[in-house]
């Protein structure tokens, strides 16, 4: 059987979700997955970005990361999404990317994709769980198979205990407060494992 193909699709303003995505890539590769890290299109006006040094720095850091397309979703057996929390929802940049996949959805090409998601916010109760649930609602419409981490490993509890997906609090200094690296890697490995089961079942 061919290796699971995983697309890690992120939006990042301050760099946090890009880092989560890189950890997910590491974890997935450890269990033999073929991985693409992809960003969604930036929609914010340049005038807003210019006033934020962290935002400008992240754009520069990720300038060589390819933008995700419908072809990437079709290619992938599994997808991990990583997005900041915006008022209890995914960032509008990620939402727009999902919203323009109607053609894929209409032709049945989102069915049985194994998906999982991660997020960040500036305080522990800043809407992380609601953000993940909002993204998973779209995935239900896709006919995707949602693979949450649940409490399948002690690292989930150590990282803050979010069973819906890894979430992290980012301080005013832009640094992550919880240590979530191992939780992200575990979530990625679990996503790949579930995708392997689905692939085997389809053969």
Which CATH class, in words, describes the domain spanning 5-202?
alpha beta
**Is residue 10 a contact partner of residue 37, using CB atoms and an 8 Å limit?**
yes
Distance CA 98, CA 193 (A): 24
CB-based contacts of 101, cutoff 8 Å, min separation 6: 70, 73, 110, 142
DSSP state of 169: E
- What pLDDT shows up at residue 51? 87
DSSP state of 176: B
- What pLDDT shows up at residue 20? 98
Distance CA 195, CA 35 (A): 13
Give kind and range of the element (H or E) at residue 78. strand 78-86
Backbone φ and ψ of 157, nearest 5°: -65, -45
- What pLDDT shows up at residue 193? 97
* Residue 203, both tokens: 């053969």
Question: What are the tens digits of pLDDT across the range 17-62?
Answer: 999 999 999 999 999 999 999 999 999 999 999 989 999 999 999 9
Residue 122 vs residues 22, 43, 88, 150: alpha-carbon distances, Å: 20, 21, 12, 23
Residues 156-167 have a mean pLDDT of: 96
Whole-model pTM? Answer: 0.96
| Domain limits, the chain | 5-202
Assess whether pLDDT exceeds 60 at residue 186.
yes
pLDDT-derived band at 137 (thresholds 50, 70, 90) equals very high
**Is residue 45 a contact partner of residue 82, using CB atoms and an 8 Å limit?**
no
Distance CA 33, CA 29 (A): 5
- What pLDDT shows up at residue 203? 60
Backbone φ and ψ of 187, nearest 5°: -60, -40
């Amino acid at each position: 059987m061919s290796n699971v193909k995983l697309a890690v699709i992120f939006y990042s303003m301050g760099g946090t979700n890009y880092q989560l995505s890189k950890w997910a890539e590491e974890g997935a590769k450890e269990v033999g997955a073929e991985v693409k890290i992809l960003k969604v299109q930036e929609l914010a006006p340049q005038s807003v970005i210019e006033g934020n040094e962290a935002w400008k720095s992240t754009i520069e850091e990720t300038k060589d990361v390819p933008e995700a397309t419908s072809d990437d979703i079709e290619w992938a057996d599994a997808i991990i999404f990583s997005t900041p929390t915006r008022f209890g929802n995914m960032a509008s940049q990620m939402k727009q990317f999902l919203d323009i996949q109607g053609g894929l959805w209409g032709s049945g090409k989102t069915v049985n994709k194994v998906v999982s998601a991660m997020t960040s916010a500036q305080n522990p109760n800043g809407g992380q769980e609601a953000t993940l649930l909002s993204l998973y609602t779209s995935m239900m419409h896709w006919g995707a198979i949602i693979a949450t981490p649940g409490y399948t490993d002690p690292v989930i509890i150590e990282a803050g205990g979010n069973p819906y997906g890894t979430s992290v609090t980012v301080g005013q200094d832009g640094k992550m407060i919880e240590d979530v690296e191992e939780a992200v890697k575990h979530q990625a490995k679990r996503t790949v494992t579930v995708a392997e089961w689905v692939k085997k079942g389809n053969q």
